Amino acid sequence: MFGRRKKKLSRSEKLQLKAAYAAGQVRPRVTKAASAAAHRVGPQVSKAADLAVEKVGPRVEKARDYAAPRASALAATAAVALAPRLETARRRSGAALDALRGAEPVVVHKRRRWPVAMGAMGIGVVAGAAARAFAKPMTMAPEPTRSTPTIIPDDADVVVLDDVRATPHTTTTMPTRDADV
pLDDT of residue 125: 94
Average pLDDT, the chain: 78
* Average pLDDT of the residues in 157-181: 52
pLDDT of residue 111: 80
pLDDT of residue 177: 57
Per-residue pLDDT for 51 more than 70? Answer: yes
CA distance 152 to 96: 100
Question: What is the per-residue pLDDT across 103-142, written as a single tens digit (0 to 9) for each?
Answer: 887 777 778 888 889 999 999 999 999 888 888 776 777 7
Q: Which long-range contacts (CB under 8 A, 24 or more apart) does 57-63 make?
A: none
pLDDT exceeding 90 applies to what percent of the chain? 8
Instruction: Please say whether the beta carbons of 166 and 151 come within 8 A.
Output: no
Q: Cα dist. 107→83, 92, 96, 99 in Å?
A: 22, 12, 13, 12
- Of 50, 72, 155, which is closest to residue 42 (Cα–Cα)? 50
